A = this chain, B = another copy of it.
Amino acid sequence: MHPHLLRIIDNALDEDIASGDLTTEACVPETAVAVAHAIARKDMIICGGEVFAAVFARIDARMQTDVHIAEAARARAGAKIWTVRGSARSILMGERTALNLVQRMCGISTIARRYVDALPPGSKTRITDTRKTTPGLRALERYAVRMGGAHNHRDNLGSAVLIKDNHIVAAGGIANAISRARARAPHTSKIECEVTSLEELDQALAAGADIVMLDNMPTDLVKSAVERTNKRAFIEASGGITLERIAELAHAGVDAISIGALTHSAPAADIGLDFEA
Partner of A3, one of B1, B58, B134: B58
Partner of A186, one of B92, B152, B177: B152
A134 near B134: Cβ-Cβ < 8 Å: yes
Nearest CB in chain B to that of A10: its residue? B3
A11 within 8 A of B: yes
* Given known contacts A2-B13, A17-B2, A256-B187, A158 and B32 CB-to-CB distance under 8 angstroms: no
Per-residue CB proximity of A133-159 to B under 8 Å, as 1/0?
A: 111111100110010000111111111
B186 near A135: Cβ-Cβ < 8 Å: no
Q: Which residues of B contact A156 (CB under 8 A)?
A: 15-19
Determine how many copies of this chain the complex contains. Answer: 6
A13 near B3: Cβ-Cβ < 8 Å: yes
Interface size (A, Cβ < 8 Å)?
103
A162 within 8 A of B: yes
Q: Tell me which residues from 173 to 218 in chain A have a Cβ below 8 Å from any Cβ of chain B.
A: 176-177, 180-181, 183-190, 192, 211
Nearest CB in chain B to that of A185: its residue? B22
* Given known contacts A167-B28, A170-B29, A131 and B16 CB-to-CB distance under 8 angstroms: yes
A53 within 8 A of B: no
* Given known contacts A23-B161, A58-B3, A268-B265, A15 and B187 CB-to-CB distance under 8 angstroms: no
B167 near A19: Cβ-Cβ < 8 Å: no
Q: Tell me which residues from 65 to 122 in chain A have a Cβ below 8 Å from any Cβ of chain B.
A: 88, 92-93, 96-97, 99-101, 103-104, 107
Nearest CB in chain B to that of A193: its residue? B23
A12 within 8 A of B: yes
* Given known contacts A14-B3, A264-B100, A188 and B167 CB-to-CB distance under 8 angstroms: no
